[in-house]
Chain A
Amino acid sequence: MDQHEHHSRLFKVGGAQVSRFEDMRLITGNGKYSSDWNAPGQLHACFLRSDRAHARIVSINFDKVGQIKGVVGVYTGADAQAAGYLRPPSFLPPTGKGGMKARVPERPCLAIGKVRFVGDPVAMVIAETHLAALDACDLIDVVYEDLPAVVDPEEALKPGAPQLHDDVPGNCPVEAESGVEAPVMEAIAKAAHVTKITVDCTRVTASPMEPRAALIEYTADTDSYVVHTPSQGVNMTRKQFATYANLGEDKFRVEIQDVGGGFGQRSTVYPEYVSMMMAAKALQRPIKWVSTRTESFLTDTHGRANLITATLALDKNAQFTGLRIDWITDQGAYLSPTGPAGHIRNATSCMNGVYNIPALYGHFKVVLTNTGWVAAYRGAGRPDIAYAIERVVDAAALELNMDPADLRRRNYLALSDYPYKSATGSTIEIADLPGLSAKALALADWSGFEARKAASARKGKLRGIGMSAVIEPTGAGSYPRDEIDISVDGEGQVTVHTVAHSQGQGHETSFAMVVAEALGIATERVKIRQGDADRAPHMVGNHTGGSRSMVGAGTVCHIAANKLIDAGKSLAAEDLGVEPSQVSYGKGEFTSAHSKKKITLAQLAAKKTLAAKGEGTFISTFPNGCHIAEVEIDPETGITEIASYLSVDDCGHVVSHTIVEGQMHGAVVQGLGQVFGEHIVYDKESGQMLTGTFMDYIMPRAGKLKSIQMEEYTTLSKLGPLGIKGMGGSGCTASLPALVNAVVNALGVRHLDMPLTPSKVWKTIQQTNVKH
């Protein structure tokens, strides 16, 4: 089935094709993103940042800033110290391997005593205009005493490496383990074949198109703050502000509307924001700051940055008997809230991938380097572990001279093996990779590849094919439950409140579809309100992250709608002159067969308060899929073209095919970006970032991936009433290994680290030609 047919199926609500509800304001210029908020009397902040990777701050002289008209104040680390804004939250488990106590360093909102990466904020200037603040930053003299810097995580772990933090010896905040080491070592010792591979899941940056921004207002009466800043959920943002600033969550009101992309980068409350709190309070005026893109590259949380060694043991029948993962996770100069915790937890959860591997062991070393900090990024460890597994499986197939599809087939868990208790302790609910991948291989005509390869060769092109078979956990949250408030007004309009916040995922449409279906009414009658500033503090729920919102908040929309129907039956019984048990509901009407009366939602809500609260607690669901890519490489230029891309995915029950397909497109192309161009690079000597603009950091452009042949193969999750599995990140998890496997196959090499730029591919072709 081609995509056009898919699209025609979707967004058919009540027979009429509708666009997303959020679209109208976004296509007419009426969206409201963080930099669009302004407040009367606002001042502007600008940050002076470290221009070196590692140095002691000897002195900061800002006498000259008075030359600039409109400068109101300068803040430095001394102010951060006085305010006590020293420690962002960290979700790192407190103990690691062998009871090792995690060492979480301070991160003052403005550097105190030392700078640790290029971009570390040293001073904040506040002025009447943005340009005045910018000019004043140029007049601040900072005297530094340079220290040796280390930007490579393996170097940072060596004895004698420059030390970033006095209280983090060896630059290692924690080592962690999953699974049990001895059985894996035994499997490796007894193996008929062992394949070992080290893959660099490179450092990249999320690059949502909306740069970070904030407007922070102080309210003296209540000693509290109003915050407007990009967020993945206002309660998570309030919680992080509260932790960083040592205040109660009730001191923060977060008001936001549209968020210009997230991908995990918005899951952090940044030091700039709490620095601005100091000025907002001291000056009693709102403070606004908008990041430049170069500041984004330097200081937004980066993603991935994992160096992973996978050692796979196979018996004489090519059955996997054990897998050891040694993982170095570079976290940059400080620990972000979500960084190391997500990487370790998510990698542990599906360390067996889609395979039956009886023995698993993971060893994680968290490392600090003189680079930008790292956090969750579209998958947060899920794509990384899948990349390592799917690369080691392909390398094993190459070494054993086996078809990679056949090696996978021999090792897939069967549908009947689920729920599967993995050797790292997770219970993986359901998947059917034998069936799913068979569909993918047939659709991609895997067995006909040699003919296509020969055809490409006749054109002078190198053709390669690669597959990935992946699974990942999504749904478990960090809050005890997800709540949804639902109410109906006298016009019959349904209002639904959630604290999960879309950054482009389209909750206003997909959540409305869930509610409308449950209530049997038109989707247009359902209004989704996300993160309402007044209501959110009284609601419990997770932010939108880890592909979980449809599993959590979306499912609770269904639960809440049904609770509303139950509540309505009790209220309607009186009007209908019957017992509540004698009231039926359907299509917006309560009816009674006994009294032959009816009352609509609107009529009932006009008389009585018609509202309900739904709630639910969810554990992980496991979306999975098989992606197959074919590439064609021009050996003259090293340029890789995607000849075809096919995906078969199991996302459980799909609410909106249009939105799911859109998420899949975006996720696959984000993976493609990392495979072919994106890479945050630091100079090893100076620690300067070499990729600080879109001219140096190669984002995917239109046409690199022309189309995806997209198919579904569904097994329903029984963990929630709707059978949904989370999705959003899974396309990225699948595309990294599928594309790298295809290029490696085309080149006939064992492995090549990302990014697979034309120059790297061309050089590889030259080298292998020499060898041959």
Chain B
Amino acid sequence: MAKVELKINGKQHSFDVEDRTLLVNLIRDHAQLTGTHVGCDTSQCGACTIHMNGMAVKSCTVLAGQANGADITTIEGMAKDGKLHPVQQAFTECHALQCGFCTPGMIMAVSGFLKDNPKPTDDEIYHGLEGNLCRCTGYINIVKAVKQAAKAMSK
């Protein structure tokens, strides 16, 4: 068993978990934050994307123990004081979600990506979305949302 102490959405937590526990399972099962999803077993789909120490990472690819001492933000921590994050806002305004299952991972990936590249070209957006699968939208409105969010965040 491993003791993992970490901050999630600004709140300090301490969990005792099996050594092999993945960060995504700690978040979902132990911290009971079910907005972060699991969509595959091979780090392809990106539904589990969160921010770890400010970086977008796939939480299915991190052991819970590796996150000891980390500062984690999940989708539940994106809206601040009742105000949506610009990426959240853009996703709903652009109809960039249908079933919504990939959406938390998309929003976390896109907000991380825009931090690194605030004014992406279309090709850079496609590349930035390579690690996130969506089955419903055909991505057209997701790309539109990324552009809208980038514009809103540059203001």
With contact pairs A27-B88, A32-B34, A662-B95 given, residues A504 and B138 touching in the complex (Cβ less than 8 Å):
no
Kindly report which residue of chain B lies nearest to residue A671, judged by CB atoms.
B138
Contact B92 A702 (CB under 8 A): no
Q: Is A701 an interface residue (CB 8 A)?
A: yes
The smallest beta-carbon distance between A105 and chain B, in angstroms, is: 31
With contact pairs A23-B92, A662-B137 given, residues A209 and B101 touching in the complex (Cβ less than 8 Å):
yes
Contact B140 A31 (CB under 8 A): no
Contact of B42 among A7, A505, A693 (CB under 8 A): A693
Contact B100 A22 (CB under 8 A): yes
For residue A693, which residues in chain B have a CB less than 8 angstroms away from its CB? 40-42, 44
For B20, B34, B126, the residue with the greatest tally of chain A CB atoms inside 10 Å of its CB is: B34
Q: Is B64 an interface residue (CB 8 A)?
A: no
With contact pairs A23-B97, A33-B101, A503-B99 given, residues A701 and B133 touching in the complex (Cβ less than 8 Å):
yes
Contact B99 A261 (CB under 8 A): yes
Contact B92 A705 (CB under 8 A): no
The smallest beta-carbon distance between A131 and chain B, in angstroms, is: 6
Interface string of A273-295 (1 = CB under 8 A from B): 00000000000000000101110
Contact B44 A209 (CB under 8 A): no
Kindly report which residue of chain A lies nearest to residue B88, judged by CB atoms.
A27
A693 to B99: give the CA distance in the assembly, Å.
21
For residue A207, which residues in chain B have a CB less than 8 angstroms away from its CB? 135
Contact of B135 among A22, A261, A663 (CB under 8 A): A261
Q: Is B134 an interface residue (CB 8 A)?
A: yes
Q: Is B67 an interface residue (CB 8 A)?
A: no
Contact A208 B99 (CB under 8 A): yes
> B interface, how many residues as a size bin?
35 or more
For residue B103, which residues in chain A have a CB less than 8 angstroms away from its CB? 26-27
The smallest beta-carbon distance between B8 and chain A, in angstroms, is: 12
For residue B133, which residues in chain A have a CB less than 8 angstroms away from its CB? 209, 694, 699, 701
Contact of B98 among A33, A292, A504, A700 (CB under 8 A): A504
For A208, A260, A708, the residue with the greatest tally of chain B CB atoms inside 10 Å of its CB is: A260
The smallest beta-carbon distance between A267 and chain B, in angstroms, is: 15
For residue A208, which residues in chain B have a CB less than 8 angstroms away from its CB? 99, 101, 135
A120 to B78: give the CA distance in the assembly, Å.
42
For residue B94, which residues in chain A have a CB less than 8 angstroms away from its CB? 7
Interface residues of B in 77-101 (CB under 8 A from A): 78-79, 84, 88, 91-95, 97-101
Contact A211 B75 (CB under 8 A): no
Contact B41 A504 (CB under 8 A): no
Q: Is B49 an interface residue (CB 8 A)?
A: no
Interface residues of A in 2-50 (CB under 8 A from B): 7, 17, 19-20, 22-24, 26-33, 35-36
Contact A131 B18 (CB under 8 A): yes
The smallest beta-carbon distance between A304 and chain B, in angstroms, is: 16
With contact pairs A209-B134, A662-B95, A702-B125 given, residues A31 and B100 touching in the complex (Cβ less than 8 Å):
yes
With contact pairs A31-B35, A131-B18, A702-B130 given, residues A26 and B138 touching in the complex (Cβ less than 8 Å):
no
Interface string of A446-471 (1 = CB under 8 A from B): 00000000000000000000000000
Kindly report which residue of chain B lies nearest to residue A261, judged by CB atoms.
B99
Contact B136 A504 (CB under 8 A): yes
Contact B40 A694 (CB under 8 A): yes
Contact B42 A703 (CB under 8 A): no
Main secondary structure, interface of A, reads: loop
Q: Is A179 an interface residue (CB 8 A)?
A: no
With contact pairs A659-B95, A662-B141, A708-B140 given, residues A702 and B126 touching in the complex (Cβ less than 8 Å):
yes
For residue A704, which residues in chain B have a CB less than 8 angstroms away from its CB? 139
Interface residues of A in 490-517 (CB under 8 A from B): 503-506
For residue B123, which residues in chain A have a CB less than 8 angstroms away from its CB? 703
Contact A258 B100 (CB under 8 A): yes
Q: Is B142 an interface residue (CB 8 A)?
A: yes
Q: Is B47 an interface residue (CB 8 A)?
A: yes
The smallest beta-carbon distance between B117 and chain A, in angstroms, is: 15
A699 to B44: give the CA distance in the assembly, Å.
10
For residue B38, which residues in chain A have a CB less than 8 angstroms away from its CB? 35, 211, 290
Contact of B95 among A20, A262, A667, A699 (CB under 8 A): A20
The smallest beta-carbon distance between A34 and chain B, in angstroms, is: 10
The smallest beta-carbon distance between A58 and chain B, in angstroms, is: 30
Interface residues of B in 127-155 (CB under 8 A from A): 129-130, 132-143
Q: Is B114 an interface residue (CB 8 A)?
A: no
Q: Is A616 an interface residue (CB 8 A)?
A: no
Kindly report which residue of chain A lies nearest to residue B107, judged by CB atoms.
A27
For residue A262, which residues in chain B have a CB less than 8 angstroms away from its CB? 99
Contact B41 A261 (CB under 8 A): no
Q: Is A210 an interface residue (CB 8 A)?
A: yes
Q: Is A682 an interface residue (CB 8 A)?
A: no
For residue A30, which residues in chain B have a CB less than 8 angstroms away from its CB? 35, 76
Q: Is A745 an interface residue (CB 8 A)?
A: no
Kindly report which residue of chain B lies nearest to residue A27, judged by CB atoms.
B88
Contact A258 B97 (CB under 8 A): no
Contact A28 B137 (CB under 8 A): no
Contact of A504 among B35, B99, B132, B140 (CB under 8 A): B99
Contact B88 A28 (CB under 8 A): yes
For residue A666, which residues in chain B have a CB less than 8 angstroms away from its CB? 98, 135-138
Contact B138 A705 (CB under 8 A): yes
Contact A211 B39 (CB under 8 A): yes
Interface residues of A in 282-315 (CB under 8 A from B): 290, 292-294
For residue B92, which residues in chain A have a CB less than 8 angstroms away from its CB? 19-20, 23-24, 27
Q: Is B112 an interface residue (CB 8 A)?
A: no
Contact of A26 among B100, B139, B142 (CB under 8 A): B100
For residue A668, which residues in chain B have a CB less than 8 angstroms away from its CB? 138
Q: Is A1 an interface residue (CB 8 A)?
A: no
For residue A211, which residues in chain B have a CB less than 8 angstroms away from its CB? 38-40
Contact A259 B35 (CB under 8 A): no
Contact A665 B141 (CB under 8 A): yes
A693 to B129: give the CA distance in the assembly, Å.
19
A140 to B110: give the CA distance in the assembly, Å.
44
A23 to B99: give the CA distance in the assembly, Å.
9
Q: Is B102 an interface residue (CB 8 A)?
A: yes
A17 to B92: give the CA distance in the assembly, Å.
11
The smallest beta-carbon distance between B2 and chain A, in angstroms, is: 14
A30 to B39: give the CA distance in the assembly, Å.
17
For residue B99, which residues in chain A have a CB less than 8 angstroms away from its CB? 208-210, 258-262, 503-504
The smallest beta-carbon distance between B22 and chain A, in angstroms, is: 11
Kindly report which residue of chain A lies nearest to residue B74, judged by CB atoms.
A29
Kindly report which residue of chain A lies nearest to residue B131, judged by CB atoms.
A701
Contact B47 A209 (CB under 8 A): yes
Interface string of A186-218 (1 = CB under 8 A from B): 000000000000000000001111110000000
For residue B141, which residues in chain A have a CB less than 8 angstroms away from its CB? 662, 665
Contact of A260 among B41, B100, B126 (CB under 8 A): B100
Q: Is A82 an interface residue (CB 8 A)?
A: no
A36 to B34: give the CA distance in the assembly, Å.
6
Pick the 3 closest A-B CB pairs, nearest first: A29-B35, A703-B126, A260-B101
Q: List 8 A-B contacts (CB under 8 A).
A: A24-B92, A27-B97, A27-B107, A28-B75, A207-B135, A209-B99, A659-B95, A669-B139
Question: Which B residues lie at the A interface, using CB under 8 A?
Answer: 18, 20, 33-42, 44-45, 47, 74-76, 78-79, 84, 88, 91-95, 97-104, 107, 122-123, 125-126, 129-130, 132-143
Known contacts A662-B95, A701-B129; can you find 13 more A-B pairs with CB under 8 A?
A19-B92, A22-B100, A27-B104, A210-B37, A211-B39, A506-B98, A665-B141, A666-B98, A700-B138, A702-B130, A703-B143, A705-B140, A706-B140
